[in-house]
A and B are shown apart, each in its own frame.
Chain A
Amino acid sequence: MLKTKIKIPEDELLLLLKNNSEMAFNYLYDNYSSALYGIIKNIVIDPDRSKDVLQDTFIKIWKNKASYDSIKGTFFTWMLNIARNSAIDSNRSKHVKYKIQFEERIVDQVNKLDGNLKIETIGLKETILKLRPEYQEILNYVYLQGYTQQDFSDNFNIPLGTVKTRTRAALSELRTLLRENL
């Protein structure tokens, strides 16, 4: 499987996608399928169902790419949200209720060795560990485990407004620390 290292600028990518070409699909898959699969697998857990959800995600992306509007954000963010929502929906339809131990997850992340990991993102894991616990917690549940902010609020009995401001604070601090590392 050819892994393309060339990054196409977003407007060119969108033009390519309009053509419905296999080349466009290959570009998306080669560059983004791992990130999407990671999100999905963290939420769905079950490998077989994760594969189905990834397939579902790409089909939805392909079908609805014409409706993507850049005002919503980057194409990748758009795809991420489709992946996340598909994973959450899949869980809901299977009535999945699970509780993952917070500590266990973070240890998983740190110990996991993934050959696709880019050098510059290794620093991200260590940096997240430098954040205070409640920030790590919220980043983990919301960005990795597919909890909506409402879910998090309901599960942990924290007012939604607080969840939102804490999410912002966690991301802000993460960004600041990353900038200091450079």
Chain B
Amino acid sequence: MNIEEYISSGILESYVLGETSDSENALISCLVKTNSNVAAELKSIQEIQEQIAFNNAQTPPNDLKSKIWNSIVDQNNTIDSTDLSSREFSLIEKNESKKDESVNQTIILRPNKSYWIGIAASFIALISFGIFSVHYMNLATKYAKEIEKIKDKETFLNKNLALKSKEIKFLSASNTKKIVLNGIENKENYRVVAHWNENDKKLVLSEIQLPTLKNDKQYQLWALIDGKPHNAGILNSTNIEDYLEMIPVEKPQAFAITIEPNGGSEVPHLEDLCVLGEVK
């Protein structure tokens, strides 16, 4: 199934109605960003839907406008958060803090000068202590974070010690882009990382987390260029390793992996999409 066929199936019309699944949404929003035909078609469908809506407009009762605005204002005053996806309102009412009862005291103080100097001195000391505490705490946090980063890096480096130095060089070069391909709906634990170098166009996959396929199928990597998918190589059980060189590509906008029959396909089976990631 190529893009033209995919569009012909009416998927964009479903998208505009809000009836597409998360994985379909991911793919479509990717196509909209990369393919101007798809973007234009989407715009056209929205326009006609909007026209139909305007065409069937009915004037609401006059008093409703102010009633609605008042309820919006009320809601703003009492609600902290809402979650549209759960299609419910969650009302979080701010708790009124109880005021402490004031106690009357009848102790008479007769402060002298040195008393006030003492107060001032302790006040300054307290503030300074506070400021320095905060400062040192910030420093400590900053250093702790840096230590964490260093530890993470150390873990990462240890893991990759097995990699040849050439590979490390490629992965960490400043013009090698890292693109995470995330699993789509129902495949959330699928994940692959792609690395593409802007200069030499080389393409490498690492951290390949994909389940093993049956003998008659393999994974195929696609690069979306000018809104069209181009073959970027095959992954099968024999060649999946942590540093997998794929076919170099020019100006990819996104990468995707689909399941294809052995030997690969000319065009991707979009219904067998597994992971998808945009090149930013």
Residues of A whose CB lies within 8 Å of any CB of B are 1, 20, 22, 25-26, 29, 33-39, 41-42, 51, 54-55, 58-60, 62-64, 67, 71-74, 76-77, 80-82, 84-85, 89, 109, 114-118, 121, 124-125, 139, 142-144, 148-150, 161, 164-168, 171, 174-175, 178
Contacts and interface: CB of A to CB of B under 8 A. Distances in A.
A150 B59 CA distance: 30
B87 A142 contact: no
Given A38-B58, A54-B64, A164 B32 contact: no
B51 A124 contact: yes
A125 B46 contact: no
Top 7 closest A-B pairs, CB basis?
A164-B10, A168-B10, A34-B57, A81-B18, A38-B58, A38-B56, A37-B60
Contacts of B29: 71-72
Most buried by B among A41, A59, A142, A178: A59
Contact of B13 (A41, A115, A124, A171): A171
26 contacts: A26-B65, A29-B69, A33-B60, A33-B64, A33-B65, A34-B60, A35-B53, A38-B53, A38-B56, A41-B58, A59-B71, A59-B75, A62-B75, A63-B84, A71-B29, A72-B29, A73-B16, A76-B50, A76-B53, A80-B49, A142-B17, A164-B10, A164-B13, A165-B9, A168-B10, A168-B13
Contacts of B79: 63
Contacts of B18: 81, 84-85
B17 A29 contact: no
Contact of B56 (A22, A59, A144, A175): A144
A150 B17 CA distance: 12
Interface string B20-44: 0000000001001100000000101
A165 B10 CA distance: 5
Q: Per DSSP, are chain A's interface residues mostly helix, strand or loop, or mixed?
A: helix
B50 A149 contact: no
Given A76-B50, A165-B10, A167-B10, A124 B55 contact: yes
B54 A121 contact: yes
Contacts of A80: 49-50, 53
Contacts of B76: 20
Q: Per DSSP, are chain B's interface residues mostly helix, strand or loop, or mixed?
A: helix
Contact of B69 (A25, A164, A171): A25
A34 B61 CA distance: 10
B239 interface: no
A85 B123 CA distance: 60
Nearest to B74: A59
A126 to B, nearest CB: 11
A143 B87 contact: no
A29 B51 CA distance: 17
A143 B17 CA distance: 8
B23 to A, nearest CB: 15
Contact of B68 (A58, A116, A148): A58
Given A1-B65, A143-B49, A59 B9 contact: no
A89 B87 CA distance: 9
Contacts of A125: 55
B72 interface: yes
A171 B44 CA distance: 10
Given A80-B50, A149-B14, A171-B13, A38 B68 contact: no
A29 B140 CA distance: 52
A82 B82 CA distance: 15
B270 to A, nearest CB: 14
B159 to A, nearest CB: 36
Interface in B83-129: 84, 87, 89
Contact of A116 (B10, B19, B53, B57): B57
B19 A150 contact: yes
Contacts of A149: 14, 17, 19
Contacts of B49: 77, 80, 143, 171
Most buried by B among A85, A118, A121, A174: A121
A89 B71 CA distance: 20
A139 B33 CA distance: 28
